[in-house]
């Protein structure tokens, strides 16, 4: 009886050993989706600048006025040239193709523009034959150091979804009955973190930008910013401007506005004030700190007007207008704050204050009493998306998602619409 029991146990152990060592070879297929970069080589970037036929406004960005012309940036693609000699009938006359362009400034017959990591200088004396007269390569360090640039492949200009299939050989233990398995694909998401001032009276042949500008010209110098740095170029030789040492301003830098011998730099955590009494060597005077938000700034006399906007790209939740005393620029002092809906760019001309409220349109205030601005709303234009404005000698130019709007105004009177150059909807 014991012998039979031992034999049974031995037989069962041998059976388990046989089963545990029995495997089938199988192919395992795994399907998944990744997001891969699309590159444009530096050679292609640098050879693509040029004038082409006029293109319709699609997603307009920054706006710049130089003489009788308006230059409207199409973010990442180039600049629309608008003949604005008659503001009641603006003409879209050409498009300057500039890969990686987001900002512009102009003086005389020259236009200064970013093209990804390069500073490009264009001769616009003949708008039918715009030419590159100088290219300062690898200037903007943020692009060079950022994830958007690969020294071997160039600049990332887009992301595309690509389906991947991997086939590998594996082993599945054969237990004497069917085996079922399923491998779910993994999806990897990559977010494209692409990088998106009504000025004092301009010097001769110097253009005027909006409050969202990152390029500006003052004291015969070109000043540009990225998210961390201030770049300075001497325009004494405007076609080949020498560059001075780059200044680290901080983080979250967004806009730059010149006024007299100062630069006002908007950041997500405050407003930096720099003296340019020595224009080749900007010197920091102070910083006015505020809650996290986007904050374009314009200045008139001893008052700085700063709009604070919350949202995903701006981090915070505050939507308001801050009015700051800068009589002593080394000690800026908050005078009053006024609640807003979702303010973007702004402009000030005398006693009239213009504030873009994004999808809520344009507001026009009587700013003669800075403590009662919200109580002195003169007009509210709704029904379009307003991004930034340039007020100049009774002429308001407004850019938004809907296109270019132009108004005429006199102090104390209401705005009158002159024209609209609409975007082309798909």
DSSP 250-293: -SSEEEEEEETTEEEEEETTEEEEEE-SSTTS-EEEEEEE-SSS
Contact 344, 298 (CB under 8 A): no
CB 294 within 8 A of CB 314: yes
- Burial environment of residue 262 by CB neighbours within 10 A (0 to 12, 13 to 18, 19 or more): buried
Task: Select from 241, 249, 242, 243 the least CA-distant residue to 268.
Answer: 249
H or E element in which residue 44 lies: helix 42-47
In a domain, 410, yes or no: no
In this predicted structure, what is the pLDDT of residue 7? 57
Predicted confidence (pLDDT) per residue in 226-249, tens digit? 999 999 999 999 999 999 999 999
**Domain assignment of residue 279, yes or no:** no
- Distance (Å, rounded) from C-alpha 109 to C-alpha 309? 36
Residue found under tokens 């710049």: 64
Structural domain contains residue 375: no
Is-contact 358 401, C-beta < 8 A? no
pLDDT truncated to tens, each residue of the chain (426 aa)? 445 555 565 555 555 555 554 556 667 777 878 888 888 888 998 899 999 999 999 999 999 999 999 999 999 999 999 999 999 999 999 999 999 999 999 999 999 999 999 999 999 999 889 999 999 999 997 766 665 777 778 888 788 888 878 777 655 444 343 333 332 333 233 333 333 333 333 344 899 999 999 999 999 999 999 999 999 999 999 999 999 999 999 999 999 999 999 999 999 999 999 999 999 999 999 999 988 888 899 999 999 999 999 987 777 789 999 999 999 999 999 999 999 999 999 999 999 999 999 999 999 999 999 999 999 999 999 999 999 999 999 999 999 999 999 999 998 889 999 999 999 876
Answer yes or no: is 57 within a domain. yes
Query: What pTM value is reported for the model?
Result: 0.82
Tally of domains within the chain: 1
pLDDT of res. 190: 32
Q: Identify the three-state secondary structure at position 98.
A: coil
Asked if residue 81 lies in contact with residue 93, where contact means CB atoms within 8 angstroms, the answer is yes
Domain span at 152: 25-173+185-196
- In angstroms, rounded to a whole number, what is the distance separating the alpha carbons of residues 136 and 173? 64
**pLDDT for 26:** 67
In a domain, 403, yes or no: no
Beta carbons of 269 and 289 less than 8 angstroms apart: yes
Cβ neighbours for 258, distance < 8 A, ≥ 6 positions apart: 197, 199, 200, 216, 217, 218, 223, 264, 276
In a domain, 405, yes or no: no
- Residues forming beta bridges with residue 80, ordered by sequence position: 72, 95
Return the pLDDT at 144.
61
């Amino acid at each position: 009886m014991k012998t039979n029991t031992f034999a049974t146990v031995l037989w069962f152990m041998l059976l388990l050993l046989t089963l545990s060592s029995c495997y089938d070879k199988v192919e395992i297929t795994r399907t998944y989706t990744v997001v891969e970069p699309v590159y444009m080589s530096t050679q292609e970037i640098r050879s693509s600048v040029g004038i082409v036929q006029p293109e319709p406004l699609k997603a307009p960005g920054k706006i710049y006025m130089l003489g009788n012309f308006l230059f409207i940036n199409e973010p990442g693609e180039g600049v629309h040239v608008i003949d604005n000699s008659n503001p009641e009938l603006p003409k879209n006359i050409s498009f300057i193709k500039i890969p990686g362009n987001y900002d512009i400034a102009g003086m005389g017959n020259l236009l200064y523009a970013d093209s990804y990591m390069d500073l490009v200088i264009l001769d616009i004396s003949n708008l039918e034959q715009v030419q590159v007269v100088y290219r300062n390569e690898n200037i903007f360090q943020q692009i060079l150091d950022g994830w958007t640039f690969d020294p071997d492949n160039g600049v990332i200009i887009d992301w595309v979804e690509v389906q991947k299939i991997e086939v590998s050989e594996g082993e599945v233990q054969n237990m004497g009955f069917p085996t079922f398995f399923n491998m779910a694909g993994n999806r990897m998401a990559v977010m494209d973190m692409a990088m998106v001032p009504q000025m004092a009276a301009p010097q001769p042949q110097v253009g005027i930008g909006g409050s969202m500008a990152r390029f500006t010209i003052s004291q015969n110098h070109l000043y540009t910013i990225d998210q961390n740095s201030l770049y300075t170029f001497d325009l004494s030789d405007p076609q080949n401007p020498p560059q001075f040492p780059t200044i680290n301003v901080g983080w979250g830098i967004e806009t730059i506005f010149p006024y007299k011998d100062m630069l006002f730099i908007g950041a997500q955590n405050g407003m930096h004030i720099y003296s340019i009494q020595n224009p080749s060597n900007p010197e920091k005077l102070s910083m006015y700190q505020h809650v996290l938000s986007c904050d374009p700034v314009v200045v008139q006399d001893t008052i700085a007007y700063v709009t604070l906007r919350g949202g995903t790209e701006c981090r915070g939740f505050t939507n308001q207008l801050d009015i700051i005393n800068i009589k002593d620029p080394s000690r800026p002092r908050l005078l009053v704050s006024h609640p807003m809906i979702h303010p973007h760019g702004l402009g000030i001309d005398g006693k009239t204050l213009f504030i873009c409220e994004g999808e809520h349109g344009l507001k026009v205030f009587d700013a003669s009493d800075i403590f009662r601005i919200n109580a002195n709303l003169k007009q509210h234009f709704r029904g379009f998306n307003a991004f930034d404005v340039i007020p100049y000698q009774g002429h308001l130019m407004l850019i938004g998602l809907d296109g270019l709007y132009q108004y005429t105004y006199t102090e104390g009177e209401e705005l009158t619409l002159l024209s609209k150059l609409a975007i082309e909807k798909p």
